[in-house]
Amino acid sequence: MGVNKKRTIISLLFLVTISFFFVAFHRGGDSYLNYPKTITNINGRSLNLYIADTEKRQEQGLGGVKSLKDDSGMFFKFANEDFWSIWMKDMFIPIDVLWLNEKHEVVYIVPNMRPEDYPHIYTPSTLSKYVIEVNKGFVEKNSIKVGQKFYIE
């Protein structure tokens, strides 16, 4: 094989490798877009929620996300009720977090969790089966209170 052909192959391999890492790291924050979705409604407000229904999806959550549409969020769906904890690892945006029981009733709320709160872990004082993460201010803007019910499709 000639020197030019070797250089061409090495250059192509280098470009493919660099492209792979660029795509992997650039898309990392958007990977939640490939999650299944559900629609929920509370107080007449509809939300498009990305479902974190596997351990891997739940671990990543909204980590790496730089912005979130006002009508979007993440819906953590756990197999059973427990004291499910949330942290702000790899987060770039502040969020409001709501914990819901099996009947989709809000049982605990933490508004304005901030990225700089990490490594603090937020744990509800009540059992929950679901967790919803939305943009900071959603709870206040929509007058969400403990005891209210989310209607999830």
Give yes or no for a contact between 84 and 76, defined as CB atoms under 8 angstroms apart: yes
Share of the chain above pLDDT 90, in %: 56
What's the pLDDT at 153? 77
Mean pLDDT, rounded, for 11-22: 41
Express each pLDDT in 116-126 by its tens digit: 999 999 999 99
55 exposure class (CB count in 10 Å sphere: 0-12, 13-18, 19+)? exposed
What's the pLDDT at 26? 38
Mean pLDDT, rounded, for 9-17: 46
Q: How far apart are the first and last CA of the chain?
A: 61
Residue 68 has pLDDT above 80, yes or no: yes
- For the chain, the domains span 1-34, 35-152
Q: Does 3.20.190.10 match the CATH number of domain 35-152?
A: no
Residue 9 has pLDDT above 60, yes or no: no
